Structure 1
Amino acid sequence: MGLVGTILSLPVAPVRGVGWVVDKVRQVAEDEYYDPGPVQEELVNLEQARTEGRIGEEEFTRREDELLGRLAEISAYRLQQQRETES
């Protein structure tokens, strides 16, 4: 882009900057939301709570199903991201 193009595009530079920041915030939020680590840790804590008798079988089964569903969602998302990256 030449000097004239650079000068003419200066008024929209803040908009591009805001767009970049919003994209980075979205990316970090997605990375945190689709991180399997906390879900796996919760599964370990859930098993420990059941072993120690702090929760019953019914509660354990319900929560375990929720967490395993969340892990499946994370796995599907990561697979989709990998396919998009390879394309």
Structure 2
Amino acid sequence: MGLFSSIFSFPLAPVRGVIWVGEVIQDQVEQQLNDPAALRRELEEIDRAAEAGRLSDEERKQAQQSVLDRMTGSVDSATANDRKE
């Protein structure tokens, strides 16, 4: 039975390979998005942009909340704001 299943599943090997590569890429992206050092740099950049006048107070709060939501794994603020309206 193993021989027959191997023969019939062989054409699906490229699909399995693509799925595996996609999963590896997704894991790497999630690790980078949730890296504490990267999140801290992003918060610092938001503060610098606000100090330089490129962000209003409201934009700064929204950007900071978005980063904090990613840190805690909460629902992102854009989705939460859509639900409030």
Same fold (TM over 0.5): yes
Amino acid at match of 1:8: F
Over 3 Å counting, the alpha-carbon distance change for 1:64 and 1:36 in structure 2 is farther
- Structure 1 counterpart of 2:20: 20
- Tell me which of 56, 66, 71 is aligned to 2:68: 71
RCO greater where, 1 or 2, for CA within 8 Å and sep 6 or more? 1
TM-score norm. by structure 1 comes to 0.56
Moved more, 2-11 or 26-35: 26-35
Extract unaligned runs of 5+ from structure 1: 78-87
RMSD of aligned Cα (Å):
3.0
Extract unaligned runs of 5+ from structure 2: 75-85
Identity score, percent: 30
TM-score norm. by structure 2 comes to 0.57
